[in-house]
Structure 1
Amino acid sequence: MVTTEDPLPLLPDQPVKPRRRRWWSVVVWLMAVPFVLWAALRVFGLDTGFPAVQLIAFTPYVAMASFVPLGVALLTKRLWPAVVTAVATVALAACVLPRWIADSDPEPANGPGLRVLSVNMLMGGADTATIVGLVRSLGVDLVTLQEYTPEAKAALRTAGLDELLPNSVSYPRPGVTGSAVYSRFPVTDLGYRQFPSDFGQAQAGVRVPGAGDVRVESVHPCAPATAHGSGCWEHDIVQEPAATPDGAVNLLIGDFNATLDHEKFRALLNTGYRDAADVAGAGLQASWPYDERWFIPGVVLDHVVADRRVGVRKVSVHRVPDSDHKAVYAELVLPRGAA
């Protein structure tokens, strides 16, 4: 006896894109979007307010990390996430890599050399013997000090700074607002630039033999450490003096509480300055924080900012015990002019 069985029902077609593929697409896009937004923030100078002012300082680390979502997108063959992330990675790299490459014309000036040093003394507590040792070993002609207190002034004198750099414009203050300029060459006191934030900056005219009129300011705007501090810093940084390309040679040296990724700092440079570390290819040498008390990646907050007529030979950073900042040293070449 022959029996017949009903044919098996046809199974519905399987979906073209399995659920796992859709899930991977979502993951890759979620990885890519933060880097795209960061690149837009940096490229278009949108770092205003809290927490953008604080976060934008870490752009070099974000630029390196952007290769992770790019690699994932390529490995999982997600075309559009790969293209979008690649654009963000290239944009971030274009912002960061020039600091690692010395300018082709690092020394346009042909006048006298000037060796400068900047130190944030952390409320006057930085080790003064180390500071004076750096001045002596590096042959420093001029040093700017921030967070310069009456106690720090006395300790520096005891350590021998006044013997090495006998001329000074000195505004010691308790806490973080004191400022000073010490020089091997004669100086003129141009006053204390007072910000509404109560932060301030010593200003000095320096008579360097063989050079023209040189003006130096020990820079220290308010720190953008909080939501309130962000507004305070934005107000202070825009009051830093613009360059005077047809007048005195301006040098702004100190703790700017800013990096080259801050739009307001770049706007200051665009008035006619250059960042010495950027010129020398040393623009990724972090100056804050560097000690074990902090669990924050290092960033470049301390700068030697010089008139575009000033040449740059070398920039380096140096540890100073009992300060959370490294000292920044630069060898400059001033334009030739009347003594």
Structure 2
Amino acid sequence: MPWQVLWLVLWFMVTGLAGWAGLRLCGWEPKFFWSQLVSFTPYAAALSLVPVGCAAFLRARPLLVAALVVAGAFAVTVLPRAVPERNPPAAGPVLRVLAVNLLHSSVPPSALVEAVERDRPDVLHLLEFTNRMRERVEALGLARLLPYEIVLPGTESEGAAIYSRYPLRPSDTPIAAPVFRKSPRHLPAVVTLPGGREVEVVAVHACAPSEGWRTACWASSIRALPPAGERPRILAGDFNSTLDHAVLRDLIATGYRDAADVTGKGLSMTWPYYEQPRLFPKVAIDHVLADRRIAIRSFRTQRLPRTDHRATLTELVLP
């Protein structure tokens, strides 16, 4: 390739990536495919290093300066996710939360119950939870492991459930109904810990940020989630949003911290895995948001069979 053509290609890359970084930094989200494309910002950040290296090799100083500025803009938004943060002082009860999107309840019930037996969560969030799945997991002993439950009936993607080791009751926190029928729904509940301490949990399942009518459903389903408040609150599940979406960052800014981000695992991707090529790019759309007064001791993702999401397991210490 002639050097002039390579030079033009590199300038084209830098210009396009500069536009990407600019949109991401300003938080403006146009109503077309940007709500999907911005999820891949970590990959764009990695790509931004290519013109830096090429410009350095070619000794093209103006191009190198421009490429470094763009790469720096991406670094500001992406690199902090890989750096652990300090926790607030917290000496209260420890709570382990496992959240799983079951892909229309396709996960084998035995695999789910085995995961609960192995990981010993105190609270279990189940999304895309059908009545048939409920019958099967309870027959296998889930209710023995986690005897308290609140179930939101539904078919395919609509249903949700929270199972708990400790007493559980419905929450009176208002959450707006979905904009459209046949949409996922959030499920809030209050867990009463030994000693009477209460913490609110919300099993989160937002609409997907698709084009057309689902764009409105997606944004409104995130905005419907409650901000951090007086009672400690934990939101866990499928947000269908990444830390590169302004609507999710706005929710976090009300007084939450993202567990993956806090533990330096903010680049742990969670979707899509099932029936996808190994090299298909993945994004981080499953989150655990905890009140900023709560210490986040650990966070990890893990595989369950026949679901396109990674489950999240988080250990938290209440204030």
Q: TM-score, normalised by structure 1?
A: 0.88
Identity of aligned residues (%): 39
- The answer to whether structure 1 residue 330 and structure 2 residue 301 are counterparts is no
Q: 1:310 maps to what in 2?
A: 294
- Cα 1:228–1:70 change in 2 (3 A) is farther
Using the TM superposition, give the Cα deviation of residue 252 of structure 1 relative to its aligned residue in structure 2, in angstroms.
Answer: 0.5
Deviates more, 1:230-239 or 1:266-275: 230-239
- The answer to whether structure 1 residue 300 and structure 2 residue 284 are counterparts is yes
Tell me how large the CA RMSD over aligned residues is: 1.7
Using the TM superposition, give the Cα deviation of residue 186 of structure 1 relative to its aligned residue in structure 2, in angstroms.
Answer: 0.2
Q: 1:55 maps to what in 2?
A: 37
Using the TM superposition, give the Cα deviation of residue 137 of structure 1 relative to its aligned residue in structure 2, in angstroms.
Answer: 1.1
Give unmatched runs, 5+ long, in structure 2.
none
Q: 1:215 maps to what in 2?
A: 200
Q: 2:251 maps to what in 1?
A: 268
Using the TM superposition, give the Cα deviation of residue 210 of structure 1 relative to its aligned residue in structure 2, in angstroms.
Answer: 4.4
Q: Secondary structure at the match of 1:282?
A: coil
Q: 2:240 maps to what in 1?
A: 257
Report the AA paired with residue 216 of structure 1: V
CA distance in 1, matches of 2:292, 2:15: 38
- Cα 1:276–1:211 change in 2 (3 A) is farther
Give unmatched runs, 5+ long, in structure 1.
1-19
Check conservation: 1:111, 1:210, Cα contact below 8 A.
no
Q: Secondary structure at the match of 2:171?
A: strand
Using the TM superposition, give the Cα deviation of residue 211 of structure 1 relative to its aligned residue in structure 2, in angstroms.
Answer: 6.6
Q: Secondary structure at the match of 1:241?
A: coil
- The answer to whether structure 1 residue 150 and structure 2 residue 93 are counterparts is no
CA distance in 1, matches of 2:19, 2:196: 46
- Cα 1:106–1:48 change in 2 (3 A) is farther
Report the AA paired with residue 266 of structure 2: G
1:73 to 55, 71, 84: 55
CA distance in 1, matches of 2:195, 2:45: 43
Q: How does 1:110-149 map to 2 (within 5 A)?
A: 110-149=91-130
Report the AA paired with residue 291 of structure 1: Y
Report the AA paired with residue 121 of structure 1: L
CA distance in 2, matches of 1:226, 1:155: 36
Report the AA paired with residue 182 of structure 1: Y
Using the TM superposition, give the Cα deviation of residue 21 of structure 1 relative to its aligned residue in structure 2, in angstroms.
Answer: 6.0
CA offsets per residue over residues 145-192 of structure 1, 9 Å max, x none? 111111111121122211100101101201201111110000111279
CA distance in 2, matches of 1:221, 1:291: 20
Report the AA paired with residue 298 of structure 1: K
Report the AA paired with residue 315 of structure 2: E
Report the AA paired with residue 115 of structure 1: R
Check conservation: 1:212, 1:249, Cα contact below 8 A.
no
Using the TM superposition, give the Cα deviation of residue 100 of structure 1 relative to its aligned residue in structure 2, in angstroms.
Answer: 1.1
Q: How does 1:167-186 map to 2 (within 5 A)?
A: 167-186=148-167
CA offsets per residue over residues 223-282 of structure 1, 9 Å max, x none? 1133332232012111111111xx111111100001111111000000000001111111
CA distance in 2, matches of 1:334, 1:228: 39
CA offsets per residue over residues 191-215 of structure 1, 9 Å max, x none? 7943123321111111012473311
CA distance in 2, matches of 1:56, 1:65: 14
Using the TM superposition, give the Cα deviation of residue 23 of structure 1 relative to its aligned residue in structure 2, in angstroms.
Answer: 4.1
Q: TM-score, normalised by structure 2?
A: 0.93
CA distance in 2, matches of 1:77, 1:24: 13
Aligned residues: 313
2:171 to 190, 193, 200: 190
Report the AA paired with residue 312 of structure 2: V
Q: 1:291 maps to what in 2?
A: 274
CA distance in 2, matches of 1:210, 1:67: 53
Find the structure with the greater CA-based Rg: 1
Using the TM superposition, give the Cα deviation of residue 143 of structure 1 relative to its aligned residue in structure 2, in angstroms.
Answer: 0.6
CA offsets per residue over residues 85-115 of structure 1, 9 Å max, x none? 2111111112111111111x23531101000
Deviates more, 1:275-284 or 1:226-235: 226-235
- Cα 1:153–1:25 change in 2 (3 A) is same
Q: How does 1:1-150 map to 2 (within 5 A)?
A: 22-103=4-85, 105-150=86-131
